[in-house]
C-alpha cells in the first residue's frame, strides 16, 4: 500500500513538472522551455522571446531575447547549462555566471557558445541578484 501511495505522488510530480506549471520559488518560462527563472516575482517582470540555436564551427550557439516589462531597472544573473544528445548535462570546468542590469522596457539578447561540440541542447537559468 505504501508503494502505491508513493508511486501516485511520484506520478503527480512528474505530470506537474512536465506541464509548465510554476513550482514555488522557480518558474519555467511559459512557451520557452529553455529558460528557468529563479522566482515567480521575477518571472512576472520579464518576457523571453526568440529563443534560437545555430551551429558555429561545430559548436552550438544559443540565444534568447529578454525584455524587462517594468518601469524599473532589474539586476539579473544568468548561466547557460549545456546538455548532450542524451539529455545529460555537460560539466564546465568553471561555471560562468553572468550579471547584467536591464533597463526599464529594454530588450537584451542573452547568448553563449557551448564549451564542447557534444552539446545539442541548452537551458538558461535566470535569477534576480537582489535576492
Q: Return the CATH number at 55.
A: 2.60.40.3230
Q: Is 99 part of any domain?
A: yes
Q: Is 15 part of any domain?
A: no
Rounded to whole angstroms, the Cα distance separating 123 from 103 reads 23
Q: Is 107 part of any domain?
A: yes
Q: Is 122 part of any domain?
A: yes
Give percent of the chain above pLDDT 70.
71
Is the whole-model pTM more than 0.75?
no
**Are β-strands 59-68 and 46-56 bridged in parallel, bridged antiparallel, or unpaired?**
antiparallel
Q: Is 18 part of any domain?
A: no
With contact defined as beta carbons under 8 Å apart, do 127 and 78 qualify? yes
Q: Is 1 part of any domain?
A: no
Q: Is 9 part of any domain?
A: no
Instruction: Write out pLDDT tens, residues 71-89.
Output: 999 999 999 999 999 989 9
Where in the sequence is the domain holding 121, given as residue range(s)?
A: 24-128
With contact defined as beta carbons under 8 Å apart, do 21 and 5 qualify? no
Q: Tell me how many domains the chain contains.
A: 1
Amino acid at each position: 500500500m505504501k508503494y502505491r501511495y508513493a508511486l501516485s505522488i511520484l506520478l503527480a510530480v512528474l505530470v506537474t513538472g512536465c506541464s509548465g506549471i510554476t513550482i514555488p520559488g522557480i518558474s519555467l518560462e511559459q512557451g520557452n522551455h529553455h529558460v528557468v527563472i529563479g522566482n515567480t516575482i521575477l518571472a512576472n517582470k520579464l518576457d523571453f522571446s526568440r529563443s534560437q540555436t545555430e551551429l558555429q564551427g561545430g559548436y552550438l550557439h544559443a540565444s534568447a531575447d529578454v525584455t524587462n516589462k517594468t518601469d524599473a531597472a532589474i539586476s539579473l544573473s544568468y548561466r547557460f547549462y549545456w546538455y548532450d544528445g542524451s539529455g545529460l548535462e555537460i560539466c564546465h570546468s568553471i561555471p560562468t555566471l553572468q550579471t547584467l542590469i536591464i533597463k526599464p522596457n529594454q530588450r537584451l539578447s542573452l547568448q553563449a557558445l557551448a564549451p564542447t561540440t557534444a552539446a545539442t541542447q541548452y537551458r538558461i537559468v535566470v535569477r534576480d541578484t537582489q535576492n
